[in-house]
Amino acid sequence: MSHTPTSRGQGKPGEAIREIVFDAAAISRRVQQLARQIEADYSGRSLLLVGILKGAALFLSDLVRHLSFPVEIDFLSISRYSLDSGGGEVRIVRDLEHDIQGKEVLLVEDIVDTGLTLHYLIQSLLRRRPASLAVCTLLERPELRLAEIPIRYAGFRVSRDFLVGYGLDYRDRYRDLPYIATLKLKPSHLSAKPVVSRG
């Protein structure tokens, strides 16, 4: 990649970071392209973008700055329990401030893996009767998909490599990196997503 990594302490390649997969320039270009697509579909209409915390915060904030029409912003925070802990379920722990009934809503994610998080959220939010509900994700990993969900806008397809940066974390670190990268950690450390308490 042409991007020269910054010397941001924890994320400097040569330490924990193995390889930059998408540098800041590539991310920015793709975010702008997604913004153009969203404009083509929604311009002139009233749109609410809903970011799923925490990972989507960086992507959403860049995305809205590239939209040429006014939008509203809200955030959801969820907890997810692993099957091991008896749940396998998603729960909203910080709900929207907006009433979405009759609104055009775009859910914004940093990454879709199994799709189970969005599957739950879509079912849950559809009960509130929005005028429309669509999904925009920066990354998607089709190999891991367990739930069929409609993704209208997707930035990049990625493989199974565990990724950090630009909102993506490992144990809540590396979200602040301006690029998306792989880690040097052994796969055994990353074999399963940690049981997460999000937001």
Catalogue the active-site residues.
113
Amino acid at 123: Q
Number of residues that bind ligand PRP (CB under 6 A): 17
User: Sign of the CA dihedral 173, 175, 178, 183?
Assistant: positive
Axis crossing angle, helix 24-42 with helix 57-65, rounded to the nearest 10? 60
Question: For the chain, give me the number of helices (H) and strands (E)?
Answer: 3, 10
DSSP single-letter state for residue 31: H
Among 32, 79, 114, 132, binds ligand PRP (CB under 6 A): 114
Among 5, 11, 51, 55, binds ligand PRP (CB under 6 A): 55
Nearer to ligand PRP, 24 or 90 (CB): 90
- We find the least distance from the C-beta atom of residue 159 to ligand PRP, in angstroms, to be 15
Query: Under the criterion CB under 6 A, does residue 116 sit at the interface with ligand PRP?
Result: yes
Query: Under the criterion CB under 6 A, does residue 54 sit at the interface with ligand PRP?
Result: yes
* Whole-Å CA distances, 155 to 16, 74, 77, 82, 149: 25, 21, 22, 27, 16
| Window of 23-31, 108-116, 154-162, 184-192 that interacts with ligand PRP by CB under 6 A | 108-116
159-198: contacts with ligand PRP (CB under 6 A): 169, 196, 198
Query: Under the criterion CB under 6 A, does residue 122 sit at the interface with ligand PRP?
Result: no
Hey, what are 160's tokens?
Answer: 């199974």
Tokens 């914004």 sit at which residue? 108
- Residues in touch with ligand PRP (CB under 6 A): 52-55, 80, 109-117, 169, 196, 198
